[in-house]
Structures are given as C-alpha cells and as structure tokens.
Structure 1
Amino acid sequence: MKIEVVVDVKPVLGEGPVWDVEQQRLYFIDSLGRRVFRCTADGTEVRAWTVPSAIGSMALTRDGEGALVALVDGIHTLDFGSGELMAVIDPEPGMDGNRLNDGKVDRAGRFVFGSMNMAETESSGRLYSLDSSWRLRVLDDGIICSNGPCWSPDDRRLYFADSWAGEIWEYDYDVHLGEATHRRRFAALASNGLGAHDGSTVDAEGYLWNAFVYEGKVARFAPDGTLDRVIDTPVKKVTSVMFGGPDLDVLYVTSMAEPPLPRFPGDPAARGSLFAITGLGVHGIPEPRFGGLIADAHTARFEERGPAEHVATSGAHS
C-alpha cells in the first residue's frame, strides 16, 4: 500500500470526490473556498470553477457538460463550458443557519443530498432526494451534519451519517421508488472524542469506506458493519473518499487546509491535499450521473411545485 499527494491546491475544506468513468476525470470541491476542481487520475490538467457561495456537493449531469451543485441557497446547475450558474431549487428558504452538504447519485439517477447546521450544534438538517423529474422529497430529518450517502452494490441499502451522531446508519432502500425506511445503526469507529464520520463510498465487494475526520483515518467496514481495516493518513482532517483511476482501484482521499471549527488543531504541510492510496487490492463501482435534463429544470422551478414531499421521515427510524 502507498499513500501519496496527487493534487495540492490547498482547499479550505476539500470534499466530495467524484470519479467519472466516461471522462476519466476526478472532480472534487472546496466547500468553503467556493470552487469545483477537475483533474486526471495522476493529478494533471487541473481545472477550477468558482461558485458564489459555500458548496456542499455536486453531481455530474447526463451529458457530461455540467453539474448540479449544492450551494447555500439551494441546487444550481453549473455549465462547465461557460461557468454560468442557474438556480433551480431551494429546499430550505429562510433557514439561514443551514447550508446544503454532502450528496451522491443513486443508480436510478436521483441526487440524494443532505443539509447541515453551520454551527454544527442544532438538529436542523434534512436528507433530500431529487429525482430525474425534478421532484424533491425529504427522506429523513433531525440531522446536525449530513454526510456520506452511498449504496450497497445491490441498491437495497442506503448508508448515511450524521457526523456528530457517532455512527453510520443504514436504511432499507427502494431504488425504484427512491424511498429510504427503517433506519438503524450500521457501524461506528471508536474515537478519542474529536473524530467524526465524514464522506463514504462502497467498493465492488460491498464494503463501506469512510473518512474519519479529525482522527486522520480511513476505515473499511464489512457489509455486516464489522470493522475490517483502518488506514492512518498523513493528515488528521481527511474528509471523503472515492475509488477512481482507469481500473477503479485507486482510493482518492480529500482533506481540509483550515478547520471550520476552531476547536480542532492544524495539520502539517500536506493539509488540504488530495491523496491517492494505491495497492489496496480493491476496486470501486462506477458512479452514476444525475438522470434529469437540465433544460427541463429551468422550466420546472421548485417555487412552482410547492414544498418538498415528506416520504419517509416518520417511518425512517426503527
């Protein structure tokens, strides 16, 4: 196993790596530095786009020419050619203490993303699903900091974490209906009191990989939730993970250069770097793109459709 720096652009809060198998490019974001990055598997050909507010996550669109970006004031489209942004949906109008955070696309093309309390003290966040018809639904609520949505290879389980709950959850997931029910504990990694579960991905064997932020560890959990492996990284503030590269056998790990919460200490010179872990003997699963058409989004604004539908909040907890 080898860990090395691939890109060092010093994001304030590096997050959300997404490997696109069609373009053979890796995307990642600087949540608080308000940038979207793209690079090759070896960290060359770096390109960046600037967005007007903090960005929690992104999802590539079907044509590969742009992305959905989760900003403070809702979901926008980003055109990679022009850099133009257009607002589509604001799930939480008037909730000034919240912003949108981590998200990924399920294999039916839905963008599943969460919100978080910016002070990370109140349970004001929600977990949302935006489908290809631009219907927005609430999957769960009462969340402090949404992180790590990903799915089992058979699409029957959704994994998700409220970072400050001290555990990763799993839900029964109906990929055809986009419903998440029966939330229960999946796994937890013992902490010294500082660490928290951040971004996750699932490999081809059905094992979940999680970045344990503020502890400097990446953990692999078996499908039954037992701890399979722990890797120590060069920095404490690792934030998310994603398999990529031509053979989907490189684990990319993002990190932050500056902690948004002052109670956490700084890191050495490699802080904020995008790392690559090779030699793991494990392969990832191709990430899907969002299934909706951008042209349709601009004629079907959220304000015209009414509030988000609650589909599983009351029945999600078991």
Structure 2
Amino acid sequence: MRIELLTEARDELGEGPLWDVREQRLYWIDSHGKAIHRCDAAGGDLKSWSVPEHIGSMCLREGGGAVVSLRTGFHFLDFDDGAVRPIADPEAGIRRTRMNDGKVDRQGRFVAGAMDYEEREPLAGLYRLDTDLSVTRLEGDIIVSNGPCWSPDGTIFYFADSWTRKIWAYDYDIATGDLLSRRLFADFEGHLRGYPDGATVDAEGFVWSAEVYGGRLVRFAPDGTIDRLVGMPVDSITSMSFGGPELDILYVTSMARPFGGRRRQEREAGGLFAVHGLGVRGLPEARFKG
C-alpha cells in the first residue's frame, strides 16, 4: 500500500471527492473555501470554480453541469459560465443550518443532509431531491449529516450523524427512494477514537468511513464489524471516493482549519491524498437524472 499527497490544496474544509467515470476526472469541494476543484487521476489538469456560499456537496448531472448543496439549499451549477440557479431550500426557516454531505442513488436521485453550523443541536434534516426537482424530507433531528452511501445493489442506505458517533443502516426502497427500518450499523463509541465523516462502499459491499479527528480509514464488513484500519498522514481526513481508470485508487480529502484546540494544523492537512494498493475496487458513482 502507498499513500500519495496528490495536491497540496490546503483546503480549509476539503470534502466530497467524486470520481466521474465518463470524464475520468476527480471532483472535490472546499466547503468553507466556497470552491469546487477538478483534476485527473494523477492530480494534474487542475481546474476550480467558485460558488457564492458554503458548499456541502455536489453531484454531476446526466445532461451536463452539476447540482450543488449550498447554505441555502439545492442549486444548479453551469460549469461553462459558473452560474448558479436555485432549485429549492428545504431548510429556509432554520437560520442555523446549512446543507452538507450528499450523494446520488443508483436510480439518479440526489440525497443530501444538513447540519447545525454550531455542531451542537439536532436541528437539521436529510432530504431527497427527485428527478422532477421535488424535495422530500427523509429524516430529522440531525446534528451533522455525513457519509450517505448505498450497498452495491442499492437496497441498503448508510448514513452517519457525526456527533452521535454512529452510522445507521436503512432498508432503501429503490422504487420510491424512501427509507425503512433504521438500525445501528456501527458505533464509534468505545471502539474508535474519532468520528464518522464521509463514506463510500466498495464493490464487495464493505463500507469505508473517514475517521475524522482519528486519522484513519475504517473498512466495515456488511455486518458492521471492523475489517481493516488504514492510518493516514493527517488526523483531519474528511471523506473518500474510489476512482482512477480501474476504480482502485482511494481518494481522500482533508481540512486545513485547526480543530480540537490546536493552534496549528499538520503540514499536509487540507491536501488531497491518493491511497494505492488496497486490493479492492470501488463502484461507479451515478449522475443526477434531473
């Protein structure tokens, strides 16, 4: 196994890596830096776009462009001119929240959650943006939404509320996008030193979670037991996605902002990392069909 610092981006809050198999390019965001970045598999051909608000996540659209979850809800983004157009703001009446982590399900719907800006109270919800641009609230009472992802067949949905230190699993109705039968999948309390952040599922159905403030990648078996721990060069890792031509490189984002009372962050914090030689492959990420 080899861990490479792919770009020294110094993202204030790097998040949401997304490998697009069509373009063979990696996208990721700087949530607090209000930016979207893109590069090739080796970190070259770098390009960036600015957005007007803090950004929680993004997905690519089947017909071109992207959907971004900003502080004020879901928006379209045109990569050609950088224009942002609002779709819907599901938390318009809540002053202290913003949209956060999100992903597209196998059927082309975008599921994204919100978070309390102060990361203290369960003020936020989890939402589904359907292809007709309607929005449905799936869950509530969330502090910080993170790590939405699906089993390879799309019938199990995984989701973390980071400050509860728990990852939940739901039965996922692939016809409607509704959540059913919530159950505890993994509990970081007493087992791991950090908190669950961004996540992905590999081709074998194992769940990978970024242990933020713990500096490790955690691979969970489908039954929720810990299968593997991979130490990273920084504690401030935030999210991950499999990519590269063979979907066998794990791209990992991190944040440069200090945390936990630290005055200074690690030298490589905020960089984008590539983990080679894990011996597993990921799954192609779907595009939003709306």
TM-score range, shorter chain: over 0.9
Q: Percent identity?
A: 51
Partner secondary structure for residue 164 of structure 1: helix
What is the CA–CA distance in structure 1 between the aligned matches of 2:68 and 2:272, rounded to whole Å?
A: 20
Q: CA deviation at 1:7?
A: 1.2
Normalization by structure 2: what TM-score? 0.97
What is the CA–CA distance in structure 1 between the aligned matches of 2:265 and 2:230, rounded to whole Å?
A: 17
What is the CA–CA distance in structure 1 between the aligned matches of 2:203 and 2:99, rounded to whole Å?
A: 28
1:285 alignment counterpart: 283
1:273 alignment counterpart: 271
List structure 1 segments (4+ residues) > 6 angstroms apart after TM superposition: none
Amino acid corresponding to residue 102 of structure 1 in structure 2:
D
Q: CA deviation at 1:69?
A: 0.6
Provide Cα deviations, 1:215-253, integer angstroms capped at 9, x if missing partner.
101000000111000011000010001000000000000
Number of equivalenced pairs: 290
Partner secondary structure for residue 26 of structure 1: strand
What is the CA–CA distance in structure 1 between the aligned matches of 2:250 and 2:283, rounded to whole Å?
A: 12
Normalization by structure 1: what TM-score? 0.89
CA contact (8 A) 1:236 1:267 kept: no
Are positions 1:22 and 2:22 aligned together? yes
CA contact (8 A) 1:24 1:246 kept: yes
2:123 alignment counterpart: 124
2:234 alignment counterpart: 235
CA contact (8 A) 1:214 1:264 kept: no
Amino acid corresponding to residue 288 of structure 1 in structure 2:
A
Amino acid corresponding to residue 245 of structure 2 in structure 1:
P
Partner secondary structure for residue 163 of structure 2: helix
Distance 1:235 1:221, change over 3 A: same
1:304 alignment counterpart: none
Q: CA deviation at 1:141?
A: 0.6
What is the CA–CA distance in structure 1 between the aligned matches of 2:3 and 2:249, rounded to whole Å?
A: 10
Q: CA deviation at 1:262?
A: 5.7
Q: CA deviation at 1:268?
A: 1.9
What is the CA–CA distance in structure 2 between the aligned matches of 1:264 and 1:53, rounded to whole Å?
A: 26
Q: C-alpha root-mean-square deviation of aligned residues, in Å?
A: 1.4
What is the CA–CA distance in structure 2 between the aligned matches of 1:41 and 1:191, rounded to whole Å?
A: 37
Q: What pairs up with 1:22-101 in 2 under 5 angstroms? A: 22-63=22-63, 65-101=64-100
Distance 1:191 1:18, change over 3 A: farther
CA contact (8 A) 2:87 2:133 kept: no
1:309 alignment counterpart: none
> What 5-or-longer segments of structure 2 have no aligned partner?
none
